[in-house]
Amino acid sequence: MTQSLDEAFAPPPLYGPVIPLRRPPVDGLAVASLVCSLLLLAPVGLPLGIIALVRTARTGNRGRGLAIAAISVSGVTLAVAAAFLGGALHFRVWAYGGSGVPIGTSSAPTQSANGERVHINDLHERDCFTPGELPVQDGGGLDDFSAVRLPCTEAHRGELYALVQLPHRATYPGTEWIKTAATEACTDRLFDYTPDPAVYGGLRTYFYFPERDRWQQGDRTVRCWAGLPQGELDQSVRQDTATLDPAQRAYLEALRPLQQAQAERPLKGPKRDLPGARQWAKEMSVAQAETARLLDEAQLPERVGKPAKELAAELRRGVPHWDEAAKAASSNVYYAAMQRAAVDPARGIDLERRLRTGLDLPIPDVRPGAGGSGGSDGGSDA
């Protein structure tokens, strides 16, 4: 379950009847927050909207609806900017076990009308497929362990890009340990397989992991795959770096530290796991500083030198605020620092477009909802 920003910052409920003697005035901060949001000043509009939401509840002034609208608009704007700069990568994980096929055996492949139906254990790297059961909940178990293997040029839901063997442990280490280890391993493999995942818009990464019964039978395999949360792919997401020129490779390699850190965002937000969120903020600080350094040092054509330096400066500006989030004493302090760390959405998108145009790289569609990316991922807590 994901919690929206307005829910995360909503004030406590008021008890007892409230009978105003006169029509209360409109809160000026609520108006200002909505204006800033509509002008794409999301890093300003979002905190103003949160403050106005709390203040209108306390004072009884009008403007609560304006504040909520400002928070919603700002949240969407920030999510769009993050998707553009980071490729909208988030890991979603599902367990398999229970009634699944035992280790060492599998159901014989069968032909379906659209392709070859196989057990998920029989999928190989670079296989494109549609799972028999579409995952709908993080960490949920599967009842249907089948998949239809298809040519990557035909409509399909996912592509398996890595089979990861987890370290041996005699006893079951628990799902949290497995998910942490698998996320790190799958992230590394993803950017080797798809150096520029942003071109697919709402591409999302997934993995299946073994539950306790399969672990005890010796299964240590995590199956990493990528797809769209809604809709289908009609091409492989594998990219050949040999087709990139040196400047394109240098730019994508500069973005990789930040994209990897973004992909490893914890499933639990700071309201449920503040220590985990603080650790991620520390990793974001290091990654953002490293991407800024690599952008400064990259050998790029003169036509993109200026936007590259400007983007590096924007990223470097946010590093101290990620450091603040890494030391936050509460979720509210964490959120405030995180918003200050954000690149201004309008400026970030403009710089990215200029860089990609100058380097002749595809420009992803980052409109809200483009590529099938679900709005729930922008929430602050799982």
Q: Are residues 323 and 299 in the same domain?
A: yes
In a domain, 235, yes or no: no
> Under 8 Å CB-to-CB from 349, ≥6 apart: which residues?
80, 81, 84, 366
Q: Domain range for residue 263?
A: 245-378
Q: Are residues 169 and 286 in the same domain?
A: no
Q: Are residues 212 and 329 in the same domain?
A: no
Q: Are residues 269 and 216 in the same domain?
A: no
State the Cα–Cα distance between residues 334 and 8, nearest whole angstrom.
Answer: 12
Q: Are residues 272 and 366 in the same domain?
A: yes
Tens digit of pLDDT for each residue in 115-124?
789 888 899 9
Q: Are residues 106 and 222 in the same domain?
A: yes
Q: Are residues 106 and 195 in the same domain?
A: yes
Tens digit of pLDDT for each residue in 200-248?
877 788 888 888 888 888 888 999 999 887 788 999 999 998 999 999 9
In a domain, 240, yes or no: no
Strand order in the sheet with 91-96: 91-96, 204-210, 221-227, 158-165, 128-131, 146-150, 116-119, 110-111
Q: Are residues 219 and 103 in the same domain?
A: yes
Tokens matching residue 294: 């690599």
In a domain, 60, yes or no: yes
In a domain, 26, yes or no: yes
- Report yes or no: 87 and 259 within 8 Å, Cβ to Cβ: yes
In the listed set 199, 227, 255, which residue is the last one of a domain according to the structure?
Answer: 227
In a domain, 356, yes or no: yes
In a domain, 237, yes or no: no
> What separation in angstroms does the CA of 271 have from each of 46, 76, 183, 192?
18, 20, 21, 33
Q: Which of 166-175, 309-318, 352-361 has the lowest mean pLDDT?
A: 166-175
pLDDT computed for residue 91 by the predictor: 45
State the angle between helix axes of 28-38 and 64-86 in degrees (0 to 180), rounded to the nearest 10.
30
Q: Are residues 98 and 52 in the same domain?
A: no
In a domain, 84, yes or no: no
What domain count does the chain have? 3
Q: What's the rounded mean pLDDT across residues 348-366?
A: 86
Rg of the chain's alpha carbons, rounded to an integer?
A: 23
Q: Are residues 156 and 186 in the same domain?
A: yes
Q: Are residues 17 and 64 in the same domain?
A: yes
Q: Are residues 22 and 104 in the same domain?
A: no
State the Cα–Cα distance between residues 25 and 129, nearest whole angstrom.
Answer: 58
Tens digit of pLDDT for each residue in 1-39?
333 322 332 322 222 232 333 344 556 665 665 555 555
In a domain, 239, yes or no: no
